[in-house]
Amino acid sequence: MSIETMPLSKAINAGLRKAMQDDPKVLLMGEDIGPLGGVFRVTEGLSAEFGTGRVLDTPLAESGIIGTAIGLAMRGYRPVCEIQFEGFIYPGFDQITSQLAKLTFRHEGALSMPIVIRVPYGGHIGAVEHHQESPEAYFAHTAGLRVVSPSTPNDAYWMIQESIASNDPVMFFEPKSRYWPRGEVDVERNPLPLHATAVAREGSEVTVIGHGAMVTTLLQAADIAAEEGTSIEVLDLRSISPIDWEPILASVRKTGRLVVAQEAPGFVSVASEIAATVTERAFYSLESPVLRVTGFDTPFPPAKLESVYLPDADRVLEAVDRALAY
C-alpha cells in the first residue's frame, strides 16, 4: 500500500533516505546528525545506512557548515545542512545571505547552488530563547533563497525531496512542535508542487492563513467556530518565498475577510507581506481590513510564558470575530 502513518520527523527522515538512494551526490551535514541522529532524531539511522562519508558530523560552527556546503555545491554535490535550533543560525547568517543567496545571480545563472538548509523552528516545546524562535522572515526577505515550511507529515516527506532536487538554495523550516504527531503519508503520489498554497479546510465566511505549526492552531479555531455556526476557510501557506498568491486571492474573493496568523513577531513579517499584497490585489473584495495574529514584538520569553506569547485558537477566533463585526 502507498499510504503509511508516521510522525513528521520520520517523514523527513524517509524523504532524506529516498533522496539519498536516488542521487549519490546528496549528502547530509550538521552537528550530531550522525550516529546520534540529531537532537530530534530526524536523521536517525542514516549514518549507519549511508556511511560517514555521506552523513557528516560537523564541528559546532554554523558558518563553517554553510561555507563547506557552498564549496561542495560548486563541485556538483547536493548538501543538506541541519541547523540544530533556529536560534543557532545567526553565526551562519552571513554565509547564507551574502554568499549562498547571491552566487547564482553573481554568475549570471551559470553556477547552481543546490543546497538545503534544514531549520527546526518555532515554539510549543517549553524551551528557552534561541530554541523557540521563528526567524523565517529574514530569509524570505533575501532574494535568491527559496523558503518553505511543511505542516503535515505528507508535505514533509515530499517537500524535503523537492527541495533537494531544486537547483536553488532552499531554507527548509521544520515546525519542531509538529515533529511527533502522526499523520498519513502517501509515498507514491506527490499531491502538490513545492511552492503551492493548500486549502486545508474549506469555508465561506472568513479566510485564515498560516504556515508550519500555526496551521494546526487554525484548524482548531475552525473546529470551534463551526460549533458556533461560523464557517472558516483554512489555508496552509507551505511556501513563504515564493508565495503562491492565486489560492489566497481566490479564497479572499469568496469570503471577503482575511486573518493572517504566525508565531513570529508581527512587525515587518510574512504576515505583513500577505496583508499588504492582498489589500493591493483584492481590495474591492474585502469586507473588512486584513487582520494579523502574531507573536509579540519582543524577544522570545521564558518557557513558562510561551503560552502567553504564542497565538492560540482563542486569539485567532477573537480576530475572526473582529473581522465579522465590520
- Over residues 279-302, the pLDDT tens digits come to 999 999 999 999 999 999 999 999
DSSP state of 269: S
All cell numbers assigned to 53: 562519508
Beta-ladder partners of 199: 235
Residue 224's CB is within 10 A of a number of other CB atoms, namely 15
CB 58 within 8 A of CB 107: no
CA angle 170, 113, 18 (to 5 degrees): 60
Dist. CA 36–CA 40, nearest whole Å: 9
Q: Provide the pLDDT for residue 1.
A: 66
Distances (CA, A) of 109 to 103, 167, 270, 278, 324: 9, 10, 27, 31, 48
DSSP state of 96: I
- Over residues 174-224, the pLDDT tens digits come to 999 999 999 999 999 998 999 999 999 999 999 999 999 999 999 999 999
Dist. CA 255–CA 278, nearest whole Å: 13
Distances (CA, A) of 47 to 12, 115, 315: 15, 19, 43
CB 295 within 8 A of CB 308: no
Q: pLDDT above 90 covers what percent of the chain? A: 96
Q: Provide the pLDDT for residue 191.
A: 87
Distance of CA 121 to the CA centre of its chain: 8
Dist. CA 233–CA 217, nearest whole Å: 13
- Over residues 220-279, the pLDDT tens digits come to 999 999 999 999 999 999 999 999 999 999 999 999 999 999 999 999 999 999 999 999
Fold for domain 3-186?
Rossmann fold (3.40.50)
| Domain positions in the chain | 3-186, 198-325
- Over residues 70-94, the pLDDT tens digits come to 999 999 999 999 999 999 999 999 9
Cβ within 8 Å of residue 138, ≥6 positions away: 93, 97
Dist. CA 200–CA 289, nearest whole Å: 23
Nearest to 117 by CA among 155, 75, 69: 69
CA angle 65, 68, 69 (to 5 degrees): 85
Q: Tell me what the pLDDT averaged over the chain comes to.
A: 97
Given 107, 130, 131, 211, the catalytic residue: 131
Q: Provide the pLDDT for residue 37.
A: 96
Average pLDDT over residues 92-109: 97
Q: Give me the numbers of helices (H) and strands (E) for the chain, helices first please.
A: 12, 14
Q: Provide the pLDDT for residue 90.
A: 96
Please tell me the pTM assigned to this model: 0.96
Residue 32 confidence class, pLDDT cut points 50, 70, 90: very high
The widest CA-to-CA distance across the chain, in whole angstroms, is 60
DSSP state of 109: T
Average pLDDT over residues 301-321: 95
Q: Provide the pLDDT for residue 129.
A: 84
Domains 3-186 and 198-325 share a fold: yes
Catalytic, 131? Answer: yes
> Pairing mode, if any, of strands 232-236 and 206-210?
parallel
Average pLDDT over residues 104-122: 97
Whether 128 has a pLDDT exceeding 90, the answer reads: no
Whether 161 has a pLDDT exceeding 70, the answer reads: yes
Q: Is the four-CA dihedral 280, 285, 288, 294 of positive or negative sign?
A: negative
As assigned by CATH, the class of the 198-325 domain is: alpha beta
Dist. CA 215–CA 236, nearest whole Å: 6
Residue in this structure with the C-alpha cell 463585526, named with its chain if needed: 325
